[in-house]
Amino acid sequence: MDRVIIVGAGLAGVRAAEALRARGYEGALTLVGAEPHLPYDRPPLSKAVLMGRADDTTVAADWTALRCELLLGHRATGLRLDDVRGGTVETTAGELPFDGLVIATGSSPVRLPGDGSQHVLRTIDDARALRAGLREGARIVLVGAGWIGAEVATAAAGAGCAVTVVEAADTPLAVAVGPEIGARTEPWYAEAGVELRCGVKVAAVEAGGLVLADGGRVEADEIVVGVGVRPEVGWLAGSGLDVDGGVVVDGSLRTNRPEIVAVGDCAAWWSARYGRRLRVEHWDTALNAPETAAASLLGEEAVYDPVPYFWSEQFGRMVQYAGQHQGAGRLVFRGDPEKAEWSACWLSGTRLSAIVTVNRPRDLVQARRLMAAGTPVDPEALADPEVPVRNAVGA
Planar angle of CA 322, 262, 326, nearest 5 degrees: 30
pLDDT tens track for 92-125: 999 999 999 999 999 999 999 999 999 999 999 9
User: For residues 389 and 364, what is the distance between their CA atoms, to the nearest angstrom?
Assistant: 9
Asked whether residue 84 carries a pLDDT value surpassing 90, the answer given is: no
Helices 283-297, 11-22: inter-axial angle, 10-degree rounding: 40
Q: How confident is the model at residue 199 (pLDDT cuts 50, 70, 90)?
A: very high
Percent of the chain with pLDDT over 70: 100
Tell me the mean pLDDT in the region 46-73. Answer: 95
> Strands, DSSP E only, in 86-244?
87-91, 94-98, 100-103, 107-109, 139-143, 162-167, 195-198, 202-206, 209-212, 217-219, 222-225, 229-231
Domains of the chain: 3-108+229-297 (3.50.50.60), 111-225 (3.50.50.60), 316-391 (3.30.390.30)
Please work out, in degrees rounded to the nearest 5, the angle formed at the alpha carbon of residue 334 by the alpha carbons of 188 and 392.
Answer: 155
Interior angle at CA 1, CA 93 and CA 40, nearest 5: 50
Give me the pLDDT at residue 327, please.
86
Q: How far is CA 105 from CA 99, 240, 246, in A?
A: 18, 17, 10
Mind listing the pLDDT tens digit for each residue in 264-283?
Answer: 999 999 999 999 999 999 99
- Is the confidence at residue 395, as pLDDT, over 80? no
